A and B are shown apart, each in its own frame.
Chain A
Amino acid sequence: MSHLSINNLSKTYPNGVKALDNVSIELENGMFGLLGPNGAGKSSLMRTIATLQDADTGSVTLDDINIFTQPEELRKVLGYLPQEFGVYPRISAEQLLNHLAILKGFTNGKERKEMVKYLLDKVNLYDKRNKSVKGFSGGMKQRVGIAQALIGNPKLIIVDEPTAGLDPSERNRFYNLLADVGKEVIVILSTHIVDDVRELCTKMAIMDQGQIVYQGAPQESLDELKGMVYQKIVSRDSLEEYAVNYSIISNKMVGGQPVIHILSETDPGNGFEQVRPNLEDVFFSKINTANTLV
């Protein structure tokens, strides 16, 4: 059982943006979802854990590896799929994976070959293994990215927005793969898609403006809101009015009509009906604490 411990991580960019603000998370084997809106600092956190960026203060350790002082050690057990995954021109999928496998220390040629083949098969690219990756569609490239992150049973897998560009069936396939792998190792999945987390993760955190605004199991977060979420279909013109009078956590369009969710410990009446909270409500309730219209 591995243990990743992030303690009081802070990072301010030269332009004054606080990317990480005192972030602390404890992780063990299993899938960990990191939710947050764009610009919340998810990628900064991922890159920091992946040894690609420094923090101003704080520490990160994986078991007994301190990633700031022993980045090399962490890299040996890391699988990383960054948000933007590009490929070299004029190189085939197999060559690329083989190259990366060598970089990850797999020196036995035969074993390496087997592994690469297996991974290509797993991401459904075995038939395309000799084709130039540059000519792949976005989804296929992403699958190459997934395959490389899985090279050699890493102890820590970090995937940053992995399902962007995948069609639903590929997304399923990938999640199955991740879930499979995630039983044994720590997988950090960063996403802004709430469903991803619900489907996959046993634990999660919500990030906003560099801070962890929530941390726990998805179910626990739902439990917290149990009986407190109400919804109502309202007219466009009255939205402002509702915003003043209720703590709105979200508003979205359903069939051309705004549907608002509000948070209330008591039944607000006024046509609101109680609904079962979903993860989206959790998400919005955590990041939309000012209760503004979003």
Chain B
Amino acid sequence: MFKTFFFGELRYSLRQPMVYIFLLIIGLLVFGATASDNVTIGGAVGNVYRNSPYTLGQYTSIMTLFGLLMATAFFNYAALREHNHNFNEILFTTPLGKAGYFFGRFFGALILGTVPMLGIFLGMIIGTYVAPVAGWVDAERYTSFTAEMFINNYFLFILPNMFFAGAIIYGLAKKFKSTVISFVGSLIIVVVYALAGSLTSDIENETIAGLTDIFAISTYDITTKYYTSVERNTLSPGFSGLLLYNRLLWVGIGTIILLLSYFSFSFKEKSKKVKKTVEAKVVKPITAFSLPKATSSFSAKTEWLQFKSFFAVNFLSIVKSVPFKILSLFSVIIIIGDFVAGFEYFGLKSYPLTYKMLDLINENAEIFVTIIVVFFSGELVWRDRGSKINEVIDATPHTSFTSLAAKAISLVGIASIIHIVLIFFSALYQLLNGFTRVEFDVYFLDFLYGNFPLYMVMSGIMIFVQVLLNNRYVGYFIGLLLVYGTRIVFSIIDVESNMLLVFGGPSIRYSDMNSFGPGLKGAIWFNLYWMLFSLVCLFLAGILWNRGLLTGLFDKIKHAKKNISKPIIAGFALSLAAFITVGSYVYYNTQVLNTYRTSDVREELAVKYEKTYKKYDGIPMPKITDAKYNIDIFPKERNAKVNAKLVLTNENEVAIDSLHFILDDDWETELLIPNSTKVLYDEEFGYVIYKLESPLQPEQSLAIEIKNSYTTKGFKNTRGSASIVNNGTFLNNGEILPSFGYQKGGEISDKNTRKKYGLPPKDRTPALSIQDTTLLRKNYITDGTGDYINVESVISTTSDQVAIAPGSLIKKWKKDGRSYYHYKLDQASLNFYSFISADFKIASRKWNGIDIEVYYDEKHPENVERMLDAVQRSLEYYTKNFGPYYHKQCRIIEFPRYASFAQAFPGTMPYSEAIGFVIDLENETENNVVDAVIAHEMGHQYWAHQLLGANMQGGTMLSESFAEYSSLMTMKGISKTPMKMREFLKYDHDRYLRGRTGETEKELPLYKVENQGYIHYGKGSVVLYALQDYIGEEKVNRSLRNFLAEYRYKSDPYPTSLDYLRHLKKVVPDSLNYLITDLFKEITLFDNRLKEASYSKKSNGKYEVSLQIESFKIKADSIGNERKVATKDWIDVGVYADDAEKKLLFEKRIRIDQPKMNVRFEVDTIPAKAAIDPRHLLIDRVYNDNIKRLKTTE
């Protein structure tokens, strides 16, 4: 009996096209991702093969979400086939076995559901063999397959996920006999998945996150998060650890659900709960039929009434429906879940700003409401048929367009309702948190600019798709594909015009400083464009919608003329005309007035650029030795005018006969170079060469003038640059001037792409060397275009704004309604500085003759006082431990959140509004990331601005790692417990370990770091913190102080990391000399583990702790191959007083000389937990197993 139904199910469905359509689509997606550089699902980069086990694992787990849609279709069909065909009463009265029927169908559908997922394997296999042959991707990017890859992925992801989803959907379908409920069931699965994901996003709860993930997607991410390239290329997901437990858990739950559903399933029809309307038999006298007089009329008013009536019927039917109620409830639950998770930022929370709420709402709305609109579009279009009232409705004299438009508007209506509910809860949350700056106008405008048009566009298009395709499920699929899939397709064929991507357009992002920002104008036009497109779709749908009997597309087109009435033609023509008009205007703005280059074009240009001009790389160039700027900023128009008078000096040993510049497309540039002729102007790249009439001799100088202006014209295809904006203009010197000489930055960096175009491997950061004197004359930031120079600027802006340039303010005046500021540097500084203009409030404080200033937006006063403190604290520590501060001011300047970083320029530190200014620090008494970032940037005032590494390996260690160290020391100074620092450093450990998994070239030891963030920030912090713990803070500071003293403001030569190690060596005791090698010169990891931990009470009232530890030291090479090495290291062991590990009770540093050791020590009070390396000083891929709860051995 089981076999009958099992194979029956397979036979039936394999004859249907659906399974093949799904298979094809999934196969194509993965094929594209495997065989084309333009498609990425997950990440296969650099050293990871495009078909590695890791890549396959990622594709599989991601595709699972698509699989859910299929599961719904298959299991729902399987469960309800008899029911839908009204065959149930016949079938169920035959003597068939319940188990055979129930499970036969289920497992049939289960196997079927996994068939389309095999498209992942097929796509990858075919992609692997086709791409190299077709010449799309180099054969070297692929590895060979193992059977294990496919088997494990199938049995770890595909089958269990399908099983779990299937059990729920099948159960629901059997119970409720409603397709709608089944769909809601699958939505709930998605929602629960998302909810669990959002609640457990912090690294604190990884194990919980890993277990609660229904699909094991994040579980796989967690188990592989520290995988190196080698591991990614060789290890398939395995039946072990967290992944296995997760799978057992969910398959178990799935089994229980399936069994419950089996036992509650019965062939007997449940007596339907119909509220029987009992009829009172009143026999009324039969009177003649004479209908009261009523006249029908057909005019525009009729159409309007019909529209309203359709709208009411559709809208109410959705609002009253169970799925809508459930979905609304879930959207609210999700957003509340988001509230609970808060706006986590390195352990801190942001204030519930309106724009933060908007981010949440929009994130939810985009996914959630999309689902709702897609789902209910099918529901509305097919509900007349489903309710069997279609013939009556169809035979009434209304135009199909009216009916479809009402459906579309109903969809917009329900989406808007959910949106408004989310806004309501968001505002409520703000108020409950005591945050009273609830900006309803911002909520409203954001809705108007973003989601409302989105809903309009989606609704129209989805209805069109449903009408066109005649099949609800195919309609869903194609609809979703249209919204999301087109992006993939267009990226393959290199189309980037937002006029072709459904609802494409410039992004808008609300900023407290700059409101909706530079993308707004374009976004509004694009919205209009897409809404008209949607209207055209709707008219087409109205024309193609066939009444009565459903026919194929050809018949629809053939009979379309029946649906065409004069007003419809007029409406269609009018909307088409409007669409074309607006489209033309958008086209004019985005393709003519402004242009853009697609990624393929950019890539080809970069290749051409390198091939043409690489010959000029490294030619002798003069350095900028003095700079005077006149800058006028026009924030409202988003324009800027720059006049720069530069002195160039030839510091080479040879004469220079020509000057090379690269002009920026966006700027209008005029170069005034005395006694020179322009000998080359390449418009494509903006490359210009001026030949000097008399060559510039060594040590000789030349004054040039550059006039540069930026004019904003119309709007662009994307948001474009956010440097010059209405409030919060932020430019650096590199942006306002053309580049000097050939720029390596313009080259393609991805090694595989370079290979594709036949380019030689990219020059790496020059090797670390203290011999190469030419290299030692260039630092890694300005790369030979300038050293420490004096800068003077006159900068003007509108009178309501403040403009800031480097140095002290000499003079300030007003002229013609504009404010002018004259700034001058007090100390020759790096040729690297910023110009800023915005409507600021200023808080200031004087410390030892230095002006500490915070320029902030009036909406963000909360943390200003603490920022002043943080700056002062840094100054105190740094002046005491490193040396004097040479500027007369320390400025922190807020800029809009189009970027979220802080950056250090001489005496000036622009700081994004997104970090720092909006973080709630009210209850923070100790170190926090806001202070840390300030201390880091302040650290750069020394490490980068007083001492800067030569442009070679290890350069960034001297600035970034040291700034991190400086920052950590100020943090440590105010930390009340050492454990607080562990909490803080956790992020650095994670940054390093995660970062190295994404390495595309090779991982280098710290002293040879090649501007790799995860190394110079992440590892740098961890390593230097450990160093000061081992040798002492004062010794490290002494080495830094001496190092700084030797190289302060010195550019001939610039220092290297070897120079620092020379100073370090002087302070490190011989016993710890191995640290220099382990921490700086090699890639060292530890695998420490606490095997057993127990304590017993001693007769003297103390407690003896006994630990069994295991410790391996590991050396890794640049691609992650590891080998264990002998240990002779000092490592801490200790116990905590509490389970939360907040209080370290006892700590002892012991020498580890064999992998397994036993340790004993006495403590005064009962310890809760014990650990090896209790403060997490060492880099350990799995730190959790270092800690254990102590057992008592009485």
Contacts and interface: CB of A to CB of B under 8 A. Distances in A.
B395 interface: yes
A112 interface: yes
A141 to B, nearest CB: 10
Interface stretch (B385-393, B763-771, B831-839): B385-393
A232 interface: no
B289 A177 contact: yes
Nearest to A73: B397
Nearest to B548: A52
Nearest to B299: A107
Interface string A93-117: 0010011111111111001101100
A136 B286 CA distance: 23
A111 B293 CA distance: 7
A47 B317 contact: no
Given A104-B296, A136-B277, A137-B276, A88 B302 contact: no
B291 interface: yes
B277 A86 contact: no
Contacts of A140: 277, 279
A76 B296 contact: yes
Contacts of A68: 562
Contacts of B259: none
Contacts, number: 152
Contacts of A173: 286
B397 A75 contact: yes
Contacts of B388: 84-86
A107 B310 CA distance: 14
A105 B302 contact: yes
Contacts of A106: 294-296
Interface stretch (A119-127, A193-201, A280-288): A119-127
B85 interface: no
Interface string B262-279: 000000000000111101
B432 interface: no
A26 interface: no
Contacts of A148: 392
Interface string B290-328: 011111111101100110011011001100110000000
B547 interface: yes
A134 to B, nearest CB: 8
Contacts of B284: 124
Contact of B549 (A52, A69, A75, A87): A52
A73 B562 CA distance: 11
Given A137-B277, A140-B277, A122 B289 contact: yes
Interface in A151-165: 152-153
Given A53-B549, A88-B383, A89-B317, A82 B391 contact: yes
B1035 interface: no
Q: Pick from A69, A107, A150 the residue with the most CB of B within 10 Å.
A: A107
A51 interface: yes
A78 interface: yes
A218 B509 CA distance: 77
A80 interface: yes
A124 to B, nearest CB: 7
Contact of A103 (B291, B387, B398): B398
B313 A91 contact: yes
B94 interface: no
A111 B295 contact: yes
B387 A180 contact: no
Contacts of B562: 68-69, 71
A176 interface: yes
A54 B392 contact: no
B982 interface: no
A291 to B, nearest CB: 34
A145 B391 CA distance: 11
A87 B387 contact: yes
B395 A80 contact: yes
B289 A181 contact: yes
Contacts of A82: 391-392
B676 to A, nearest CB: 78
B559 interface: yes
Contacts of A171: none
A50 interface: yes
Contact of B565 (A72, A103, A153): A72
B313 A99 contact: yes
Q: Pick from A95, A103, A177 the residue with the most CB of B within 10 Å.
A: A103
Given A111-B293, A152-B296, A75 B395 contact: yes
B294 A180 contact: no
Given A140-B279, A150-B291, A102 B309 contact: yes
Given A99-B313, A118-B291, A50 B391 contact: yes
A82 B559 CA distance: 22
Contact of A47 (B274, B277, B305, B391): B391
A94 B387 CA distance: 17
Nearest to B320: A90
A81 interface: yes
B309 A103 contact: yes
B395 A51 contact: yes
Interface string A35-66: 00000000000010011111000000000000
27 contacts: A47-B549, A52-B547, A68-B562, A76-B298, A88-B313, A88-B317, A88-B387, A89-B317, A89-B321, A90-B316, A99-B309, A99-B313, A103-B309, A103-B310, A103-B393, A105-B298, A105-B302, A106-B296, A114-B294, A119-B291, A128-B277, A132-B275, A135-B276, A137-B279, A152-B291, A177-B289, A181-B289
Chain A to chain B: the 3 pairs with minimum beta-carbon distance, closest first: A52-B548, A86-B388, A105-B296
Interface of B: 274-277, 279-280, 282-284, 286, 288-289, 291-299, 301-302, 305-306, 309-310, 312-313, 316-317, 320-321, 383, 387-389, 391-399, 547-549, 555, 559, 562, 565
Given A136-B277, A177-B289, 10 more contacts: A75-B395, A84-B391, A85-B391, A95-B313, A104-B397, A112-B294, A115-B294, A124-B282, A135-B276, A137-B279
